[in-house]
Amino acid sequence: MKKIKIAHLYPERMSIYGDHGNTLALEQRMNWRSIKNEVVRVEVGEKIPNDIDLIFIGGGQDKGQLVVANDLLKKASQIRDFVESGGPLLSVCGGYQLLGEYFISNDYGQIQGIGLFNIISKATNTRMIGNIVVQSEKFGQLVGFENHSGATEFIGRANPLGVVKKGYGNNPNDKLEGVIYKNAIGTYLHGSFLPKNPKVADWLLRQAIKHSGQTLKLKELNDELENSARKFASKRP
Would you call 236 exposed, middle or buried from its count of C-beta atoms within 10 A (0-12, 13-18, 19+)? Answer: exposed
In the three-class reduction of DSSP (H, G, I as helix; E, B as strand; rest coil), residue 67 is classed as helix
CA separation for the pair 95, 11 (Å, rounded)? 11
Annotation says 190 is catalytic: yes
Is residue 116 within 8 Å of residue 79, measured between CB atoms? yes
CA separation for the pair 111, 194 (Å, rounded)? 28
Strand duo 37-42 + 89-92: pairing: unpaired
Annotation says 93 is catalytic: yes
Q: Which of 8, 93, 148, 211 is catalytic?
A: 93
Q: Which of 8, 148, 190, 211 is catalytic?
A: 190
Say which amino acid occupies 200. Answer: V
Strands of 74-175 (E only): list them.
89-92, 102-105, 109-112, 119-136, 140-154, 162-166
* Active site members: 93, 190
